Amino acid sequence: MERQELTNIMELMVKFKYKELKDILNICQCEKCTLDLYSYALNRLPSKYVVTEKGEAYSKINATSVQFESDITCALVEGAKVIKEHPRHGADEFVEKSDVVW
């Protein structure tokens, strides 16, 4: 039996959805802004913890509802607007998608 883990699949879903939307959200893609966006979205969404075998969590994402996906998209779009209007760094530190290395 593989090791069991406690996983918040909402966090995985937010990160997965961000990867789908990041080019159209048009916000800075530096680590600080990305983490701020994750934080913004996750603080507005319900936690969804599951116990999984290590590496199994991504298969649980496919079992989520269309409503969860819609809620995640809304939270990311709202968060992108807030972060774009109030980044925690100067304009000279803006990172475009082509500059992302992390």
pLDDT tens-digit series, residues 47-75? 988 887 766 665 566 656 788 889 999 99
Kind plus residue range of the DSSP H or E element containing 50: strand 49-53
| Euclidean distance between CA atoms 101 and 29, whole angstroms | 10
**How crowded is the C-beta side of 69, counted as CA atoms within 13 Å?**
10
- Domain assignment of residue 94, given as a range: 4-99
Report how far apart, in Å, the C-alpha atoms of 46 and of each of 34, 42, 71, 75 are: 19, 7, 10, 11
- Backbone φ and ψ for 83, nearest 5 degrees, come out as -70, -35
Domains of the chain: total: 1
Q: Which residue has the higher pLDDT, 38 or 96?
A: 38
CA nearest to 40, candidates 71, 12, 82: 82
| pTM of the model as a whole | 0.79
